[in-house]
A and B are shown apart, each in its own frame.
Chain A
Amino acid sequence: MKRFRHHGPVSAAGSVAASVTLATAMTLIAILLVQARGVLDFGFLLGTPSRFAAQAGIGPALAGTLWLTLLTAAIACPVGVGAAVYFEEYAPRTRTMLAIESAVANLAGVPPLVFGVAGLALFVRGLGLGSTVLAGGLTLAMLALPTVLVTSQEAIRQVPTGVRAAAYALGATRWEVIRRQVLPAAAPGIVTGLTLALARTAGAAAPLLVIGAASFITYAPGTPGDPLTALPTRVFAWSARSQPGFTALAAGAGVVLLALLLVLHLAGMALRRRLAGAAR
């Protein structure tokens, strides 16, 4: 009998591929950390942008990104999961419906920049929101929506048909089957999709630049109606400057963004584990 850990050529190639992936990520983080040395302190985290590199901070951008992530989650989660429930449980399996469904799913491949253009027309000008945090949140929610939808649909499809049949056979209505069996069982998968989508939107600079993120704001946004600013656009603004010191600032903001994504993933994992535990 073969040993469980068999070291064949496939396994060797696999471990080389894994090492390369890991090394790339580690190098990236190492470069950022080296460049950002001496920058990361409380003054940097809480401070405001400045013409003088030594005094500059990311306070408003950090607050903006937290706001944006919160808004994106609050909009994309109910809409995306709701649409997934509709497509999987209610929508008739007609050709039109399947076409709509695949069109929405294909939005996941549309470049974020294009969502920025749409957001500019729809929210900034159409709804007259201006270049605010709310307009940014709505734009990023559009960007997150296809991912949330597709992963939620997949998670809903994974719920065994036997469980649904059993629930119906006990006299449950469709909504009760969805609410009490399908959604709880699909919840861990939905959280995975939401985490992925939020990671994508939290790091997106392009759509925010298109809808007019301010590059110089000296106060942190306190409400969704305040002017839009975010970490990725902050990184972009600093990396475009040639004076010494600003490269380090851009790297520092990049490190903070990475740390934020790490926190997001850890929170997602913890939530998923809790939900999976509740559904077992």
Chain B
Amino acid sequence: MSAPVTPPPPAAPPATPPRDGPHPRAPLLSLGDLSVRFGDRPALSGVSLDIPRGRVVAVIGPSGCGKTTLLRALNRMNELIPGARTSGSLLFDGQELYRRETDPAEVRRRIGMVFQEAALFPGSVFDNVAFGPRASGFGGDLHALAEEVLTAVGLWAELGEDLDVPAVSLAAGQRQQLCIARALAVRPQVLLLDEPTTALDPTATARIESLMHAQLPHLTIVIATNDLRLAARASSLTAYLDRGELVEYGPTETLFTNPAHPRTESYLTGRIP
């Protein structure tokens, strides 16, 4: 049922069931008729889908189709854009995230995000990793945490086990690894990756891919990408968005080999109407 993958397979039967929530099989995120408008311009129109725990879900579609808006809707990042309005429901572990009394900062600690542009903070690698935990009042050993997450993304040895390396001295692929490490340092349950490999070469892309799989099944990953091969290799479910609408959503293998919708098929074969 899951797509064939080259790097470590996504541990099909989870060795340890996810700890959180009484219903391990219930979706972790559930979108109900979720719409986003920027002023008068609709960016996302009535998207409903369920995201299961411990899986990689890929969001594909042409540029400007709303992939980024969908991802940003999942951790309430859109509301930082003036004029953005969101409607519909978003359940996380059964709890509505779009309520007035819900703290968006808390939402973003549970549902982290990495962007296409690896926007590093000034300072060292450590400064980058420590920012999130410090902001959420982490009281433990920051150095141990930094070592742990940098090991998880494969940077620890590469940096010569040195946390004081200036972040600006890293190569493009390493920067994105650092962005993922710093997102992991907040210990999110979901990680949103917005075209994380667009600026990277194939080797760096392969690394990001394998480190994603290393985080499963404790982490749930939603990745928006223009790289169809990456989506096919790395995800178990794929959503195809076009002009802000969810056209098709299902198991990656089915969607790629036998799409139900003609629009999906024409996109996958490169014949965009």
Is B13 in contact with chain A by the CB < 8 A criterion?
Answer: no
**Contact A163/B121 with A169-B112, A170-B131 known, Cβ cut-off 8 Å:** yes
Question: Can you list 15 contacts pairing A with B, beta carbon distance less than 8 Å?
Answer: A162-B117, A165-B77, A165-B119, A166-B119, A169-B77, A170-B112, A170-B131, A171-B108, A171-B135, A172-B132, A172-B136, A173-B105, A185-B122, A279-B122, A280-B168
Tell me how many residue pairs across A and B have CB atoms closer than 8 Å: 73
Is B8 in contact with chain A by the CB < 8 A criterion?
Answer: no
A167 near B77 (CB under 8 angstroms)?
Answer: no
B115 near A184 (CB under 8 angstroms)?
Answer: no
Q: Sort chain B's interface into a size bin.
A: 20 to 34
* CB interface residues, A 110-162, toward B, < 8 Å: 160, 162
A172 to B105, CA, bound (A): 6
A280 near B123 (CB under 8 angstroms)?
Answer: yes
**Contact A180/B123 with A166-B179, A171-B106, A280-B168 known, Cβ cut-off 8 Å:** no
B122 near A93 (CB under 8 angstroms)?
Answer: no
Q: Within the complex, what minimum Cβ distance (angstroms) separates A157 from chain B?
A: 15
* CB interface residues, A 68-108, toward B, < 8 Å: 93
Closest to A162 in B: B119
B131 near A167 (CB under 8 angstroms)?
Answer: yes
Q: Across the A-B interface, give the 3 residue pairs with the lowest CB-CB distance, nearest first.
A: A162-B119, A171-B109, A170-B132
Is A41 in contact with chain B by the CB < 8 A criterion?
Answer: no
Q: Which residues of A contact B (CB under 8 A)?
A: 93, 160, 162-173, 176, 180-181, 184-185, 278-280
Q: Which residues of B contact A (CB under 8 A)?
A: 75, 77, 80, 82, 105-106, 108-109, 112-115, 117, 119-123, 131-132, 134-136, 166, 168, 179, 182-183, 186
> Interface of chain B, helix or strand or loop or mixed?
mixed
B80 near A165 (CB under 8 angstroms)?
Answer: yes
B122 near A169 (CB under 8 angstroms)?
Answer: no
A170 near B186 (CB under 8 angstroms)?
Answer: yes
Most buried by B among A164, A170, A180, A185: A170
Residue numbers in B under 8 Å from A171 (CB-CB): 105-106, 108-109, 112, 132, 135-136, 186
Q: Within the complex, what minimum Cβ distance (angstroms) separates A13 from chain B?
A: 37
Q: Which of A162, A170, A172, A280 contacts B122 (CB 8 A)?
A: A280
**Contact A168/B108 with A93-B82, A279-B122 known, Cβ cut-off 8 Å:** yes
Residue numbers in B under 8 Å from A169 (CB-CB): 75, 77, 108, 112-115, 183
A166 near B135 (CB under 8 angstroms)?
Answer: no
A180 near B134 (CB under 8 angstroms)?
Answer: yes
Q: Which of A162, A165, A176 contacts B135 (CB 8 A)?
A: A176
A24 to B121, CA, bound (A): 43
Q: Within the complex, what minimum Cβ distance (angstroms) separates B150 from chain A?
A: 16
Most buried by A among B108, B112, B135: B135
A256 to B254, CA, bound (A): 82
A sample of 10 more A-B contacts (CB under 8 A), given A169-B77, A171-B112, A171-B135, is A160-B119, A162-B115, A165-B115, A167-B131, A168-B77, A168-B80, A170-B132, A172-B105, A172-B131, A280-B122
Residue numbers in B under 8 Å from A166 (CB-CB): 115, 119-121, 179
Residue numbers in A under 8 Å from B106 (CB-CB): 171
Residue numbers in B under 8 Å from A184 (CB-CB): 122
Residue numbers in B under 8 Å from A165 (CB-CB): 77, 80, 115, 119
A163 to B105, CA, bound (A): 16
Closest to B117 in A: A162
Residue numbers in A under 8 Å from B109 (CB-CB): 170-171
Q: Within the complex, what minimum Cβ distance (angstroms) separates B49 from chain A?
A: 21
Residue numbers in A under 8 Å from B132 (CB-CB): 170-172
Residue numbers in B under 8 Å from A164 (CB-CB): 80
Q: Within the complex, what minimum Cβ distance (angstroms) separates A112 from chain B?
A: 37
Q: Within the complex, what minimum Cβ distance (angstroms) separates A97 from chain B?
A: 12
Closest to B83 in A: A93
A170 to B186, CA, bound (A): 7
A169 to B168, CA, bound (A): 20
A171 to B132, CA, bound (A): 7
B115 near A170 (CB under 8 angstroms)?
Answer: no
A181 to B127, CA, bound (A): 11
A181 to B130, CA, bound (A): 12
Residue numbers in B under 8 Å from A176 (CB-CB): 135
Q: Within the complex, what minimum Cβ distance (angstroms) separates B159 from chain A?
A: 17
A171 to B182, CA, bound (A): 11
Q: Within the complex, what minimum Cβ distance (angstroms) separates A22 from chain B?
A: 35
Closest to B122 in A: A279
B119 near A163 (CB under 8 angstroms)?
Answer: yes
A163 to B167, CA, bound (A): 13
Residue numbers in B under 8 Å from A180 (CB-CB): 131, 134-135
A266 to B28, CA, bound (A): 58
Residue numbers in B under 8 Å from A173 (CB-CB): 105, 135
